Structure 1
Amino acid sequence: MHGYELRKRLNLMLGWSRVLSYGSLYPALKKMLRQQLIEETAPTKTPVSRRPKIVYQVTEAGTAEFERLMSEVGPAAWEDDTFDIRFAFFGRTDMEIRLRVLEGRRMRLQERLDRVQSQLSMTEAEVDRYAAELQRHGVESVEREVRWLSDLINSERQAAPAAPTPPVPPAPREEGTSTTSQTSGA
């Protein structure tokens, strides 16, 4: 895709809460070009008065790097700056990784919620009603996201295929007992 189309697609995927600007897109594309994660392909034909559009294509190294990044499950995967992007690509992620990222995000938000709720009662007496209302709004938003994450985790677990049951080993034989097999000629 060319830059304009890429920005439009990413903004559609990420939703209203995260808008990708040209000021962040093009430096990222240049960096990915230097790292050979993407490459420029032949520009599309445009009218003479316009500059040709540069079209970018993911390289094999870019695909491998994407897969590596999507398989990481450490704290960077559930932080505010990266979680939305990771979540947008969950369809290409293994279920175990999805669960670990969702659980990590929920744990991080629950820690934040506990901290803010303990401070909320102390600060309500010290701030005006608008600041207190903003804090309550923040608490409600985090509580809503924690519930959403819990629902997603439960849904993932319910959709998980049941682990195969291991074969049952044969019962031990008593000494002195022999087993013979009879075959019938059929």
Structure 2
Amino acid sequence: MARRGETIELAVLGLLHEAPMHGYELRKRLNLMLGWGRLLSYGSLYPALKKMLRTGLIEELSTTTPMTRRPRIVYQVTAAGTEEFSRLMSEVGPTAWEDDTFDIRFAFFSSTDMEIRLRVLEGRRTRLQERLARVQQDLERTQAEVDRYAAELQRHGVESVEREVRWLSDLIRAERGETPGQISSTSVTSTDQ
């Protein structure tokens, strides 16, 4: 499982790869990217930025605006940061499809080779299919033991994972250039029916 700092680092490098930004803008964009369930505080962002400055992945630029006397610090990615971003985005192992990092990686998929995108999407789908099988077994096993609301919550979890597996299957077919009705033998799963 990826550490939160590594996830923040990947997201910061990806955003700065697009354009230099100051801390407030980075935090705002990261929170949009991470979603409402995982808001990023300044207490998490600035230590990550300091570490990235120390390791030479980013650098500071000071700018002043007519409205403020204090210089505003703008961060930009360095050549080493660009290399690190490329390296992180080319990883295809389990950390690439974990819950903590998949969304961030997906947000920067346009910077990734198609084969890597496919491997990450397929890995994520396989991970979710395994999770779905476990959740469905748990649901069958505990349905008689739990009250109606707990059963509904479990059912909601199953439907959410099924929906994401279908979404991933559609993305994989699109990456391969297949039309929705055209399924290759390597992408057929029980959820594709």
TM-score, with length taken from structure 2: 0.76
Q: Superposition RMSD on alpha carbons, in Å? A: 1.7
**Would the aligned equivalents of 2:58 and 2:78 in 1 still touch at CA under 8 Å?**
yes
Return the match for 2:176 from 129, 152, 157.
157
1:60 aligns with 2:84: no
Partner of 1:94: 113
Which structure's residues are more often helix, by fraction? 2
CA distance in 1, matches of 2:63, 2:141: 60
Partner of 1:128: 147
Change (3 A) 1:99 1:17: farther
Return the match for 1:119 from 138, 141, 158.
138
Partner of 1:22: 42
For 1:38-57, what aligned pairs fall within 5 Å after superposition? 38-45=58-65, 47=67, 51-57=70-76
Return the match for 1:80 from 71, 96, 99.
99
Larger CA Rg, structure 1 vs 2: 1
1:21-79 superposed Cα distances (whole Å, 9 cap, x missing partner): 3232212111111111001112333545x643211110110000000000000000000
Partner of 1:107: 126
Report sequence identity in percent.
Answer: 82
Unaligned runs of 5+ in 1: 160-186
1:69 aligns with 2:88: yes
CA distance in 2, matches of 1:142, 1:98: 20
Change (3 A) 1:30 1:7: same
1:98-151 superposed Cα distances (whole Å, 9 cap, x missing partner): 000000000000000001101101111222221111111111000000000000
Partner of 1:165: none
CA distance in 2, matches of 1:46, 1:82: 39
Larger displacement relative to structure 2 (98-107 or 33-42): 33-42
**Would the aligned equivalents of 2:64 and 2:70 in 1 still touch at CA under 8 Å?**
no
CA distance in 2, matches of 1:18, 1:63: 25
CA distance in 1, matches of 2:140, 2:156: 14
SS in 2 for 1:40: strand
CA distance in 1, matches of 2:79, 2:106: 23
**Would the aligned equivalents of 1:40 and 1:55 in 2 still touch at CA under 8 Å?**
yes
CA distance in 1, matches of 2:66, 2:43: 24
SS in 2 for 1:154: helix
Larger displacement relative to structure 2 (75-84 or 127-136): 127-136
1:148 aligns with 2:167: yes
Larger displacement relative to structure 2 (11-20 or 79-88): 11-20
* Aligned residue identity for 1:5: E
CA distance in 1, matches of 2:66, 2:57: 26
Structure with greater contact order relative to length (CA < 8 Å, sep ≥ 6):
2
**Aligned-pair distance for 1:17?**
5.3
**Would the aligned equivalents of 1:14 and 1:88 in 2 still touch at CA under 8 Å?**
no
